[in-house]
Chains A and B, each alone.
Chain A
Amino acid sequence: MSQQPKAVALISGGLDSLLAARVVMGQGVYVEGINFFTGFCVEGHTHAIRKKDRARPKRNNALWSAEQLGIKLHIIDIIEEYKDVVINPKHGYGANLNPCLDCKIFMVDKAREWMDAHGFDFIITGEVIGQRPMSQRRDTMPVVARESGAEVRLVRPLCAQNLPATLPEIRGWLKRDKLYNFSGRSRRPQMALARKFGFEDYAQPAGGCCFLTDKQYTVKLADLWATRGTREYDLDDIMLLKVGRHLRPRPNFKIIVGREEGENRFLEGYRKRFVHMLPTSHTGPLVLLDGEISPADIELAARLTARFSQGRNADRVTIEVNGKGADTHYLDVVPLPTDEIPAGWYI
C-alpha cells in the first residue's frame, strides 16, 4: 500500500482504548475514533441531572480521549439496534443484565460496517486478554473477531503479541514487536504505558461503563419487563430508570419520585406522558405514575407523595393531580406513615 493505512478505533473513554489507539498512531497509521451510545452508557451526563452533582466535572471521556490523541471522534446512536443485544443475547448475560460478549461482537461489527463504508483498513480495540470475565478471555476474543465479521482486520494492540498475527501485521503496516503482550486484570502495564505517552488525568479503570452491569439499575429494568409482560423498552424508559426513587406499591403501577430540584425538573419533561402529582400546600417532589391507575391508586400515590414532601408530619397535605391531558384536580390527604411503606415497595 502506497497510501497511509487508516484505522478506526473503538474509543470508550477508558484508558485501554486511549492507549490502543495511541500505539497504532505511533506506527504511522491514520486513526479516527468511534464511540457508540447504547442508552445504557454511564459516560452520559445522568449525574448532571441532580443539582447537588452539578459542581462535578462533566467531561465526556471519549471526547477527552479524542482530544488527547488529536483525532476525530464519531459518536454513533445505536439505541434502537442495540435492543436486540440486550433482549436476546446469544451468549447470555453476565452477573446482571450485561450481555458483554454480544455487546462487544455487536460494536465491532458496527465498526466494521463503518470501516467498510468510509474506506478504512482495520479496527482497533483496547481489549486485553483476561481483563474481563466475559468478553476479554482467551477463548472469547476469537469469537468477537469471527462473529463480528472483522476477522484478521481486528487488532488489539495491547495484547497483540499473545494473539495470532492480524492483517496489518501481515501487510507490514504494524510491527509486531512494537505492539504489546498485556494480559490479566492488573492495570500496572497500562499505567506505565500511559506515563510513557504522557497521558495524565485519564478516566479510571475500564469498567463500570454500562448501567447493565449495575445491580440496582438492572433490578429496575427487570421489574419494568416483568410488569409489562414484555422485554421491550424505549429510550425514555431506560432514562427514567436512572432518575428518582422508584416504588411499586401495587403490581399495576409504580411511582417515580424526584429526589431534589434537578430531578424534579428532569421529570417535568415527562409530564405529558404520565399521570403526575405534586404537593401544593408544602414543598415536595414531582411524582410520575407509571401503569394502569385506578382512583384508589391515585389516593395511595398522593399519600406517598405527601410522605416525601416537607409536609410529611402535617395532618394533611394538598396534592395537585394531573392527568395526561389538561385535567387537574386536588386531593387533601394524610401522609402515609413510614411504617406503612414496606421495604419491598422500593425497586
Chain B
Amino acid sequence: MKYVIPAAVTIGTGVVILMSYFWATPMLVGIRTTLVDWAVVLGGLAVLVGVLNLLLVNARRIQAGQRGWPYSLITMLAVLLTLVVAMLEGFGQEVTPLSNPASTTNVLFQGVVVAGQATLAALVMIFLVVAAVRLLQTRPGGWSLVFVAVLLITLVGWLPLSTMGVLNRFREWLLNVPAAAGARGILLGVALGVLVVGLRVLTGMERPYKD
C-alpha cells in the first residue's frame, strides 16, 4: 500500500494532464490548470527549502572550519542581506523590487549576479578553446582533428573580412548542412528519450519515490 497510493496519484495525474492536451474539454483543462497552479505553489515553497539548504550547508562548512569556509561566510551574509533588502523593499508594494530599476535589489542583481554571470561566460569561451587544442594531445586521432578543424573554421569564419568570402561560405555550408543534420538527429534522439522516460513514469515503471 506504501507505494500504491503514490503510484496511483502519479499515473492518474499524468494521464489527466496528457488527455487534456489531446482533448481540450473545459473540464480537463480546468483540472490541468488547477494541478499546474499547485505545482507552481509547491515550486515556490521548494525555493524556500532550497534557501534553507544553502544556509545549512554553508553553516556546517563554517562550523567544521572546512577549506574555503570564509567563502561560505560571504555566501551566507550575501543571501541574508539580499533576502532582507528584497523583503523590506517589496513590503506593501504591488510590483516586485526586481522589476523596479531604481531598487537596491535590482542594483544588487545587475551589479553582482549579471556581472558575475558575464565573467563566467567569458571564462567558458577561453576554457573551450584551450580544451579543444588540448584534445589533440590527450586524444590524438582523426575525430579530434576534425573537431578542432571545424571549431577553427567556424570561429575564423565569423570574422567580417572581405578576403575570407570562401571561408565564410564554407562556414555557412558547414553549419547549415552537416552540423544542422547531425544536430537534428541528436535532438530527435533526445526527444525520444524524454518521451520514453515520460512513458515509464506514466506506466509506473519509473518510480522516483520507490525504495
Chain B binds chain A: no
Chain A residues within 8 Å of B, Cβ to Cβ: none
Chain B residues within 8 Å of A, Cβ to Cβ: none
